[in-house]
Chains A and B, each alone.
Chain A
Amino acid sequence: MQMTYLEAIADAMRHEMRRDERVFMIGEDIGAYGGAFKVTKGFLDEFGSKRIIDAPISEAAIIGSAIGASLNGMRPIVEMQFMDFITNGFNQVVTVAGTTAYRWGLPVPMVVRGPSGGGVGGNPFHSRNAEAWFAHATGIKVVCPAFPDDAKGLMIASIRDNDPVVFFEHKGLYRKIKGEVPEGEHIVPLGQARVVRTGTHCSVIAYGSAVHMALAAADALASEGIELEVVDIRTLVPFDEETVFQSVRKTGRVLVAHEAVLTAGFGGEIAARIADTAFRYLDAPVRRIAAFDSPTPFAPSLEQAVLPNAEKIQTAVRELCSF
């Protein structure tokens, strides 16, 4: 069935809420209003106010209470109105949820999800790509889908996972990307990268919106005779190294791309692991394309300049291929 990225996420949550009484949602304006992006439109009518809980603007209380409910056998889905606001609940995610399995051996089957990413004129506070913070925090799984079918399959896998998951939806993809999504149960296991385009000259390792930039770059470069392979890692934690290494061994040239800022981004981790393990297969240095190290600016002229795009990827790939 054809669905937008947003519809696929809603479909996954609806599927799990129908299937498992332990799944409930908590967030801001998710009930009668249906959420700022309307992801939960119709959920209140179907599931009632006990399972679709509108909370005060208190991200720490929202995430903390979801952790407590998890300890008491529930499987909460927490909506952050914008993923930027997870900073207000950061302590709960990192200090409490991320240490519980290690310290107590107890599951925290909580999903914290919401819209992230820039390119839509959101300003510095509605545009952030915060995934690397959580990859660095220990004990937290980090999911960044790029396609509707993956968004659904990864969401179902995240809800059923016994560890805390931070699920970054890209708001720019919500209604822009449409695709075929399996009906009913569809699970994409966490920790499996996907080769979304095969090629022989250079690999682009990406996730989230950068996958679409890479695919656009691949189309453009094909006319120049450069065949790009695009690997969507889909989840940062767990990280599927093997699929990445396979692609590196095949092409010998690697560009790592993400929309998040460059310094200490997850791309650095990917590049380091490639250097550690697949160095002898490389014919060129590992390059990175990412956002300039600044907050995401508001004016379109500035925002488009600091964010990565398909043209920047093309330029970097040409350089790699002529190395």
Chain B
Amino acid sequence: MLMAREFDTAMLRLYRQGKAFGGVYSQLGNEAVSVGSAYALDTAQDVLFPMHRNIGSHFVFGQDLDQLMVNHLAREGSQMRGTDGTGHYADPARRIYGNVSHLGAMIPVAAGFSLADQLRGVTTVSLTFIGDGGAQVGEVHEALNFAAVHKIPLILIIENNQYAYSTPNSLEFACERLSDRAIGYGMYGTTIDGTDVELVYATCKEAVERARRGEGPSLIETKTMRMRGHAEHDDFSYVPKELLEEWSAKDPVETYITRIVNDGVMTADEITALREATLANMIAAIDRALERPWPAAEEGFKNVFMSV
């Protein structure tokens, strides 16, 4: 959780220094969803198809901080050779397959990854994400219906963070809960508070267990608030201040810290120290990435095909 949070702090700092390249997409307010859901999987067997705001899930799947930053900032050594940046990379060894900017496009792909193992008689749960805006893309519907028909072990989390870029929920869909759609697909669906990491974990754990029993996909809507703009260039002045204040009282990281301090798991001082160390690690990793050169220009001419 702290890594997810401080990743954003560090990236925001970089953006303000004018050193960030491309969009900086904050997960502020959404950390519990990325982290809690990924912890419900078996990282050795299952597979992660994260969306652009799910950096917390990359850490749960064991991504190396330096590699992540190099990928993100598209420096020499990136797993994408500079052809793309942010969290779009794939790391098959860590079972992470990033997204494309066309949201929803990777959901049938995630379903197909699990389908391949289903044909081999193995259950591999695919965890993937979409937003309250992306959930309106046709491919999402096709993928969910397909997964339900073929009982594919797919978990789709709809991160309802209230805004799709500048468009509010009221202009994206007319149903009360996005998980109500699950009934129409013939799959399990639920809507939960996405600021509670333990609730997200427990809900996803049940979805994983259902999938392993051969009961097919699950649709989980998590209610959160996007506490920053679509990306950092966006001042999100279209979001009412009161709404941000209301949700800031439910900050997933702060409420979880309060809970574990109250439960005596860690002391407030230990948390503060861990937090400072985590941020320092993030900044150091960014600095190391920025010391690397851009990838060699000739990389742009390579690998359009695996073989010609």
Q: Is A153 an interface residue (CB 8 A)?
A: no
A50 at the interface (CB under 8 A from B): yes
Residue numbers in A under 8 Å from B142 (CB-CB):
56, 58, 60-61, 64
B231 within 8 A of A: no
Task: Give the distance to chain B from A90, nearest Cβ to Cβ, in Å.
Answer: 11
| Contact A58–B305 (Cβ < 8 Å) | no
- Tell me how far the C-beta of B13 lies from the nearest C-beta in chain A, rounded to whole angstroms: 27
Expressed in whole angstroms, the Cα–Cα distance for A91 and B142 within the complex equals 13
With contact pairs A60-B142, A103-B84 given, residues A65 and B111 touching in the complex (Cβ less than 8 Å): yes
Per the 8 Å Cβ criterion, residues 150-182 of A in contact with B are 161-163
- Which among A60, A99, A139 is the interface contact of B108 at CB below 8 angstroms? A60
Considering only CB atoms and an 8 Å cut-off, how many residues of chain B contact the other chain? 42
Closest-by-CB residue of B relative to A139 is B304
B101 and chain A: residue at smallest CB distance: A95
- A50 contacts B88, CB within 8 Å? no
CB atoms of B116 and A238 under 8 A apart: no
Residues of A within 8 A of B92 (CB): 71, 106
Least CB distance from A279 to B in Å reads 26
> Across the interface, do B108 and A61 meet the contact criterion of CB distance under 8 Å?
yes
Given contacts A69-B113, A69-B115, A96-B105, contact A55 B307 (CB under 8 A): no
Q: Which of A58, A64, A107, A161 has the most CB of B within 10 A?
A: A64
Partner of B139, one of A91, A162, A191: A91
Q: A55-B149, A61-B143, A101-B306 are in contact. List 14 more A-B contacts (CB 8 A).
A: A56-B142, A60-B138, A62-B108, A63-B108, A64-B139, A65-B143, A68-B112, A68-B113, A69-B116, A71-B90, A103-B80, A106-B92, A162-B307, A238-B308
List 13 contacting pairs A-B, 8 Å CB cutoff, sorted by A: A55-B149, A60-B143, A64-B107, A64-B111, A65-B109, A65-B115, A68-B109, A68-B114, A71-B92, A95-B100, A99-B100, A103-B80, A103-B83
Spell out A's residues near B (CB within 8 Å): 24, 50-51, 53, 55-56, 58, 60-74, 91-92, 95-96, 99, 101-107, 138-139, 141, 161-163, 191, 238
B interface residue numbers (CB < 8 A to A): 79-81, 83-84, 88-90, 92, 97, 100, 102, 105-117, 119, 124, 126, 138-139, 142-143, 145-146, 149-150, 303-308
